[in-house]
Amino acid sequence: METPLLFISGAGLPAWIWDSVRERMKPPSVVAPHPGSGSVTDYAQAALEASPGQDVTVVAHSAGGVVASELTRLAPERIAGVLGVAAVIPTAGGSFVSSTPFPNRLLLPLVLRVAGTRPPDSAIRSGLGSGLDDATIERLIADFEPEPLSYFTSRTDSNTLRTQPRKGYIVTTEDRELPPAAQRRYADRLGPAFRSEVPAGHLPMLSHPAAVAAAIEEFNGSASWIRQEGPLPE
Protein backbone atom coordinates (compact mmCIF):
# COMPACT_ATOMS: atom_id res chain seq x y z
CA MET A 1 0.00 0.00 0.00
CA GLU A 2 1.32 3.42 -0.93
CA THR A 3 2.02 5.79 1.95
CA PRO A 4 1.66 9.59 1.86
CA LEU A 5 4.62 11.45 0.39
CA LEU A 6 6.75 14.14 2.00
CA PHE A 7 8.85 16.03 -0.55
CA ILE A 8 11.97 17.87 0.62
CA SER A 9 13.35 20.33 -1.93
CA GLY A 10 16.98 21.23 -2.34
CA ALA A 11 18.40 24.40 -0.84
CA GLY A 12 16.54 27.56 -1.83
CA LEU A 13 14.14 25.82 -4.21
CA PRO A 14 10.42 26.65 -4.17
CA ALA A 15 7.68 24.11 -3.51
CA TRP A 16 6.22 24.44 -7.01
CA ILE A 17 9.10 22.51 -8.58
CA TRP A 18 7.23 19.34 -7.51
CA ASP A 19 3.82 20.33 -8.93
CA SER A 20 4.02 18.26 -12.14
CA VAL A 21 5.18 15.20 -10.20
CA ARG A 22 2.61 15.53 -7.42
CA GLU A 23 -0.29 15.83 -9.84
CA ARG A 24 0.67 12.42 -11.23
CA MET A 25 0.74 10.75 -7.80
CA LYS A 26 -2.15 8.93 -6.12
CA PRO A 27 -1.24 9.21 -2.42
CA PRO A 28 -1.59 12.55 -0.61
CA SER A 29 1.57 14.61 -0.51
CA VAL A 30 3.06 17.83 0.80
CA VAL A 31 6.28 19.74 0.18
CA ALA A 32 8.17 20.47 3.37
CA PRO A 33 8.44 24.18 4.20
CA HIS A 34 11.75 26.00 4.41
CA PRO A 35 11.84 27.85 7.74
CA GLY A 36 14.45 30.29 6.41
CA SER A 37 16.47 30.22 9.61
CA GLY A 38 17.90 27.77 12.11
CA SER A 39 19.79 24.51 11.85
CA VAL A 40 19.18 21.39 9.81
CA THR A 41 17.29 20.08 12.86
CA ASP A 42 14.86 23.01 12.59
CA TYR A 43 14.29 22.20 8.94
CA ALA A 44 13.68 18.54 9.75
CA GLN A 45 11.25 19.47 12.54
CA ALA A 46 9.32 21.74 10.16
CA ALA A 47 9.13 18.89 7.65
CA LEU A 48 7.89 16.50 10.30
CA GLU A 49 5.18 18.91 11.43
CA ALA A 50 4.00 19.30 7.82
CA SER A 51 3.85 15.53 7.16
CA PRO A 52 0.59 14.43 5.53
CA GLY A 53 0.26 11.26 7.62
CA GLN A 54 1.55 9.36 10.62
CA ASP A 55 3.75 7.30 8.29
CA VAL A 56 5.35 8.91 5.24
CA THR A 57 7.69 8.16 2.39
CA VAL A 58 10.30 10.91 2.14
CA VAL A 59 11.45 12.08 -1.29
CA ALA A 60 14.54 14.23 -0.74
CA HIS A 61 16.25 16.28 -3.42
CA SER A 62 19.84 17.58 -3.41
CA ALA A 63 20.76 19.16 -0.03
CA GLY A 64 17.39 17.91 1.22
CA GLY A 65 19.14 14.58 1.73
CA VAL A 66 20.78 16.05 4.82
CA VAL A 67 17.39 17.18 6.14
CA ALA A 68 16.03 13.69 5.46
CA SER A 69 18.88 12.20 7.49
CA GLU A 70 17.98 14.36 10.47
CA LEU A 71 14.29 13.61 9.97
CA THR A 72 14.94 9.89 10.34
CA ARG A 73 16.69 10.61 13.63
CA LEU A 74 13.78 12.65 14.97
CA ALA A 75 11.05 10.16 14.06
CA PRO A 76 12.40 6.89 12.64
CA GLU A 77 9.14 5.09 13.43
CA ARG A 78 7.22 7.40 11.07
CA ILE A 79 9.47 7.02 8.01
CA ALA A 80 8.24 4.28 5.68
CA GLY A 81 11.02 4.91 3.16
CA VAL A 82 13.53 7.46 1.91
CA LEU A 83 14.11 8.12 -1.80
CA GLY A 84 16.98 10.43 -2.73
CA VAL A 85 16.76 12.40 -5.98
CA ALA A 86 20.26 13.61 -6.90
CA ALA A 87 20.61 13.90 -3.13
CA VAL A 88 23.57 14.64 -0.90
CA ILE A 89 23.84 11.86 1.66
CA PRO A 90 25.78 12.99 4.74
CA THR A 91 28.45 11.09 6.51
CA ALA A 92 27.62 9.88 10.02
CA GLY A 93 27.04 12.96 12.14
CA GLY A 94 27.97 15.14 9.15
CA SER A 95 26.70 18.34 7.59
CA PHE A 96 26.09 19.27 3.98
CA VAL A 97 29.49 20.95 3.84
CA SER A 98 31.39 18.10 5.52
CA SER A 99 29.77 15.60 3.14
CA THR A 100 31.02 17.29 -0.03
CA PRO A 101 34.22 16.06 -1.73
CA PHE A 102 37.65 17.47 -0.85
CA PRO A 103 38.59 20.33 -1.23
CA ASN A 104 35.02 21.67 -1.27
CA ARG A 105 34.50 20.72 2.35
CA LEU A 106 37.34 23.08 3.26
CA LEU A 107 36.62 25.92 0.83
CA LEU A 108 32.83 25.98 0.79
CA PRO A 109 32.28 27.44 4.30
CA LEU A 110 34.52 30.40 3.44
CA VAL A 111 32.83 30.93 0.08
CA LEU A 112 29.37 30.87 1.68
CA ARG A 113 30.39 33.34 4.38
CA VAL A 114 31.93 35.77 1.91
CA ALA A 115 29.63 35.44 -1.10
CA GLY A 116 26.41 34.39 0.63
CA THR A 117 24.24 31.35 0.07
CA ARG A 118 22.39 32.58 -3.00
CA PRO A 119 24.14 31.52 -6.21
CA PRO A 120 24.51 34.15 -8.97
CA ASP A 121 21.74 34.19 -11.55
CA SER A 122 24.25 33.00 -14.14
CA ALA A 123 25.05 29.94 -12.01
CA ILE A 124 21.36 29.12 -11.64
CA ARG A 125 20.96 29.30 -15.41
CA SER A 126 23.94 27.09 -16.19
CA GLY A 127 23.65 24.66 -13.25
CA LEU A 128 20.18 24.25 -11.75
CA GLY A 129 18.55 25.39 -14.96
CA SER A 130 20.36 23.01 -17.28
CA GLY A 131 17.83 21.33 -19.57
CA LEU A 132 14.96 23.68 -18.68
CA ASP A 133 13.17 26.23 -20.82
CA ASP A 134 13.88 29.94 -20.38
CA ALA A 135 10.56 30.75 -18.71
CA THR A 136 11.07 28.10 -16.04
CA ILE A 137 14.64 29.25 -15.41
CA GLU A 138 13.52 32.86 -14.95
CA ARG A 139 10.80 31.72 -12.55
CA LEU A 140 13.39 29.76 -10.56
CA ILE A 141 15.62 32.81 -10.32
CA ALA A 142 12.72 34.99 -9.16
CA ASP A 143 11.52 32.50 -6.54
CA PHE A 144 14.87 31.26 -5.22
CA GLU A 145 15.10 31.82 -1.45
CA PRO A 146 18.62 31.47 -0.02
CA GLU A 147 19.00 29.34 3.07
CA PRO A 148 20.95 30.46 6.16
CA LEU A 149 24.57 29.45 6.50
CA SER A 150 23.60 27.14 9.38
CA TYR A 151 21.54 25.03 6.96
CA PHE A 152 24.78 24.02 5.25
CA THR A 153 27.08 23.78 8.28
CA SER A 154 24.93 22.29 11.07
CA ARG A 155 25.37 18.58 11.60
CA THR A 156 22.98 15.69 11.80
CA ASP A 157 23.17 13.89 15.13
CA SER A 158 23.32 10.29 14.02
CA ASN A 159 23.58 7.79 11.20
CA THR A 160 19.94 6.69 11.22
CA LEU A 161 19.29 7.38 7.53
CA ARG A 162 21.46 4.47 6.45
CA THR A 163 19.82 2.14 8.97
CA GLN A 164 16.39 2.72 7.41
CA PRO A 165 15.17 -0.57 5.89
CA ARG A 166 13.64 1.01 2.76
CA LYS A 167 15.88 3.29 0.73
CA GLY A 168 16.21 4.32 -2.89
CA TYR A 169 18.18 6.69 -5.07
CA ILE A 170 17.58 8.35 -8.45
CA VAL A 171 20.69 9.48 -10.34
CA THR A 172 20.35 12.35 -12.82
CA THR A 173 22.80 11.44 -15.55
CA GLU A 174 23.09 14.88 -17.24
CA ASP A 175 23.50 16.86 -14.03
CA ARG A 176 25.84 19.87 -14.09
CA GLU A 177 25.16 20.82 -10.47
CA LEU A 178 25.93 17.50 -8.80
CA PRO A 179 27.90 15.23 -11.16
CA PRO A 180 26.54 11.71 -11.69
CA ALA A 181 29.77 10.18 -10.35
CA ALA A 182 29.30 12.04 -7.06
CA GLN A 183 25.66 10.97 -6.94
CA ARG A 184 26.62 7.34 -7.34
CA ARG A 185 29.02 7.70 -4.43
CA TYR A 186 26.23 9.18 -2.33
CA ALA A 187 23.96 6.31 -3.42
CA ASP A 188 26.61 3.80 -2.36
CA ARG A 189 26.87 5.59 0.98
CA LEU A 190 23.11 5.27 1.42
CA GLY A 191 23.11 1.63 0.35
CA PRO A 192 19.70 1.55 -1.32
CA ALA A 193 17.93 -1.54 -2.62
CA PHE A 194 16.19 0.58 -5.28
CA ARG A 195 18.12 2.59 -7.86
CA SER A 196 17.13 4.24 -11.11
CA GLU A 197 18.54 6.80 -13.52
CA VAL A 198 16.87 9.69 -15.31
CA PRO A 199 18.58 11.41 -18.29
CA ALA A 200 18.12 14.86 -16.83
CA GLY A 201 19.85 17.80 -15.18
CA HIS A 202 19.62 18.64 -11.49
CA LEU A 203 15.87 19.32 -11.55
CA PRO A 204 14.36 16.19 -13.12
CA MET A 205 11.01 16.90 -11.47
CA LEU A 206 10.71 19.83 -13.90
CA SER A 207 12.27 18.39 -17.06
CA HIS A 208 11.17 14.73 -16.67
CA PRO A 209 8.21 14.70 -14.25
CA ALA A 210 6.69 11.49 -15.66
CA ALA A 211 9.93 9.55 -15.15
CA VAL A 212 10.36 10.87 -11.60
CA ALA A 213 6.72 10.11 -10.76
CA ALA A 214 7.07 6.58 -12.14
CA ALA A 215 10.15 5.94 -10.00
CA ILE A 216 8.45 7.28 -6.88
CA GLU A 217 5.36 5.20 -7.57
CA GLU A 218 7.38 2.02 -7.96
CA PHE A 219 9.47 2.74 -4.88
CA ASN A 220 6.50 3.73 -2.73
CA GLY A 221 4.07 1.08 -3.86
CA SER A 222 6.19 -2.06 -3.74
CA ALA A 223 6.79 -4.22 -0.71
CA SER A 224 10.19 -5.11 -2.18
CA TRP A 225 12.09 -3.24 -4.84
CA ILE A 226 13.89 -4.48 -7.91
CA ARG A 227 17.03 -2.64 -8.90
CA GLN A 228 16.56 -0.45 -11.97
CA GLU A 229 19.28 -0.94 -14.60
CA GLY A 230 18.46 1.96 -16.92
CA PRO A 231 16.56 5.18 -17.35
CA LEU A 232 12.82 5.26 -16.90
CA PRO A 233 10.74 6.54 -19.83
CA GLU A 234 10.34 10.29 -20.11
pLDDT at 106: 63
pLDDT at 183: 96
pLDDT at 103: 66
Report which of residues 230 and 12 the model is more confident about.
12
Residue 27 has pLDDT above 60, yes or no: yes
Residue 22 has pLDDT above 60, yes or no: yes
pLDDT at 162: 76
Q: What domains can be seen in the chain, in order of their start residue?
A: 5-221 (3.40.50.1820)
% of the chain at pLDDT higher than 70: 90
- When pLDDT is averaged across residues 215-230 and rounded to a whole number, the result is 62
Nearest Cα residue to 72 out of 175, 180, 159, 145: 159
Residue 2 has pLDDT above 90, yes or no: no
pLDDT digits (tens, 9 = 90+) for 163-178: 888 999 999 999 999 9
pLDDT digits (tens, 9 = 90+) for 48-80: 999 998 899 999 999 999 999 999 999 999 999
Q: With cut-offs at 50, 70 and 90, classify the pLDDT of residue 222.
A: low
